Amino acid sequence: MRHKEFDPAVALDQAMVLFWDTGYEATSVQDLTEKLGIGRRSLYDTFGDKHSLFMQSLRHYAETEARRVWEAVERAADAREGVRVLLGAGLSQSSRGTGCLVVNTATEVGPRDGDAAEFVEQHLGGVRSALTDLVRRGQGEGSIANPAAPEVLASVLFTAWLGLRVGVRAGLSRRRLERDLSDILSLLDRA
């Protein structure tokens, strides 16, 4: 039995970046083998088919990005700042135009791919829940003055979160997106 001549973790990172940059449908198996520097047989033996590799890449993205974002949210001075961190995460990707792989997946293949749709729904549900918790906490500590029900305010923030990520993918400038984020955050100050 031959030993793998590549690191599957590195290959998964490379596949994730390729899917993130070009999307699932525009990425061919040939693109994957070239990017990963492996043959088709190694790709299939290690990751399964293209869809399986995509789902592994999507989970890997969500785990690594979520960990990075949640760590930053936890370091925030208060809940309002946590909301800013959560909504603003990913704006640095505006120069690449990649957006959020989970949101990109929702718009590209989610409606036709049950596995991807289920994953996206769970991930986005977690974002909505985190926003609800942050709003509730912020209202309690006084960093969020808006008295709207936490679920209602979180729904507005969640929709804005989605919109910012689509804006990044659409190539809007970081300056424009940061102005939008500032406008969105002003909703938290309305008593």
pLDDT tens for each residue of 158-187: 999 999 999 999 999 999 999 999 999 999
Residue 172 inside a domain? The answer is yes
In a domain, 53, yes or no: no
Determine, yes or no, domain membership for 46.
no
Q: 67 is in which domain, residue-wise?
A: 60-189
Q: What is the pTM of this model?
A: 0.89
Task: Check pLDDT > 80 for residue 4.
Answer: no
pLDDT score recorded for residue 66: 85
**Dist CA 38 CA 35 (whole Å):** 8
Look at the chain and report how many structural domains it folds into. Answer: 1
Please state the separation of Cα 62 from the chain's center in Å: 6
Residue 44 domain-assigned (yes or no): no
Would 16 be classed as within a structural domain? no
19 domain-assigned: no
What is the C-alpha end-to-end distance of the chain, expressed in Å? 68
Amino acid at 43: L
Residue 68 maps to which CATH number? 1.10.357.10
8 within a domain of the structure (yes/no):
no
- Determine contact, residues 81/143, Cβ cutoff 8 Å: yes
Give the whole-angstrom CA distance, residue 115 versus residue 70.
Answer: 25
The span from the CA of 72 to the CA of 81, in Å, is: 10
User: Per the domain annotation, does 120 fall within a domain?
Assistant: yes
